[in-house]
Amino acid sequence: MTIKKVGVLGCGLMGSGIAQVAASAGFETVVREVSDDLIQRGFAGVEKSLAKFAEKGAITGEQQQEIHGRLSGTTTFEALADCDIIIEAIIENLEEKRKTYAELDRICKPETIFASNTSSISITEMMTATSPERQKRFIGMHFFNPVPLMKLVEVIRTILTDETIYEEAIEFGKQLGKTTVRTSDKTGFIVNRLLVPYMLDAIRALEEGVGSITDIDTAMKLGLGYPMGPFTLGDFVGLDTTYYIAEIMFNEFREKRFAPPPLLKRMVLAGLYGRKSGRGFYDYSTDPKNPTPMNLV
């Protein structure tokens, strides 16, 4: 099967980014959201992103218009019925995802490939909400934020994924201009499996007085050449998101390295989520470009 039409579930930060790269790669792309307001809000972000690419000369004004022409929004599942692949990027809630997939399974053509952008939820658990034939065509495609700039896509297969479908998904990822890596349905996949314990250990080091927030961030940047330290990264990703992923991984593996440290739990309970809430390990409320470290321990 040749993929020609792409469906995207969700028009938030990830969904709109996935839709943008799909339309930019030449695919007719339909984005489904629960309201027109959310669709317009997501498409406004796409327009802003494309304008930046045009300003830098990465695309022409004509190409910008062509990309817009390949994008459309909908509030119905029925508009996705003839899509060749549907990439889900909705809320990280297993039951909501299963409910959505069950509905789509009844509507979409038998050939449609289902792909989830989840960063941590089991693909197999989502897959079982669909028919046995659809389960062979069910994969994970984990993109990274910001999608138009980040080159990596983790392509995840389950124990039931058809080999031909998996290879087609790998090729599709390449057509989107991404570098694909192969991985299996183990919670966290490759990146989060290695990244989350690193971030949690940094929090434990802070709790134990090994170094301050700025010293630990600086050490990892200058000592290992990382683009940002673990606390700056945590604030960027969202500490609530990090906590949620860690909880899922700990429940899966029952290993201490995946257990959220007490400080992280208390920060999330206190609403200190990072950049999106204005405060996390750093306070961004006064000067977002030059945040000051919080006094947490």
CATH number assigned to the domain comprising residue 285: 1.10.1040.10
Residue numbers annotated as active site: 119, 142, 154, 192
pLDDT number for residue 87: 98
Q: Is the same domain home to 107 and 84?
A: yes
Q: Which domain holds residue 44?
A: 5-184
Q: Is the pLDDT of residue 1 over 70?
A: no
Q: Is the same domain home to 126 and 17?
A: yes
Q: Is the same domain home to 70 and 150?
A: yes
pLDDT number for residue 2: 86
Q: Is the same domain home to 203 and 109?
A: no
Please write the tens of the pLDDT for every residue from 182-232. Answer: 999 999 999 999 999 999 999 999 999 999 999 999 999 999 999 999 999
CATH number assigned to the domain comprising residue 170: 3.40.50.720
Q: Is the same domain home to 253 and 276?
A: yes
Distance CA 128, CA 132 (A): 8
What number is the average pLDDT over the span 162-182? 98
Please write the tens of the pLDDT for every residue from 119-148. Answer: 989 999 999 999 999 999 999 999 999 999
Last residue of a domain, one of 134, 149, 184: 184
- Are the C-beta atoms of residues 98 and 130 closer than 8 Å to each other? no
pLDDT number for residue 32: 98
Q: Is the pLDDT of residue 234 over 80?
A: yes
- Are the C-beta atoms of residues 165 and 139 closer than 8 Å to each other? yes
Distance CA 293, CA 262 (A): 19
Please write the tens of the pLDDT for every residue from 17-62. Answer: 999 999 999 999 999 999 999 999 999 999 999 999 999 999 999 9
Q: Is the same domain home to 78 and 100?
A: yes
Count CB-CB contacts under 10 A for residue 293: 14
Q: Is the same domain home to 14 and 106?
A: yes
Q: Is the same domain home to 154 and 207?
A: no
Last residue of a domain, one of 136, 158, 184: 184
The pLDDT mean for the chain works out to 96
Last residue of a domain, one of 155, 184, 213: 184
What number is the average pLDDT over the span 149-165? 97
Q: Is the same domain home to 108 and 201?
A: no
Please write the tens of the pLDDT for every residue from 76-112. Answer: 999 999 999 999 999 999 999 999 999 999 999 999 9
What number is the average pLDDT over the span 246-270? 96
Q: Is the same domain home to 198 and 171?
A: no
Count CB-CB contacts under 10 A for residue 144: 17
Q: Is the same domain home to 67 and 175?
A: yes
What number is the average pLDDT over the span 251-268? 96
Q: Is the same domain home to 44 and 165?
A: yes
Q: How far is CA 29 from CA 21, 153, 157, 210, in A?
A: 10, 18, 24, 49
Distance CA 135, CA 129 (A): 9
> Is-above-0.75 flag for pTM?
yes
Rounded to the nearest 5°, which phi and psi values hold at 162?
Answer: -65, 135
Number of compact structural domains in the chain = 2
CA angle 205, 194, 159 (to 5 degrees): 145
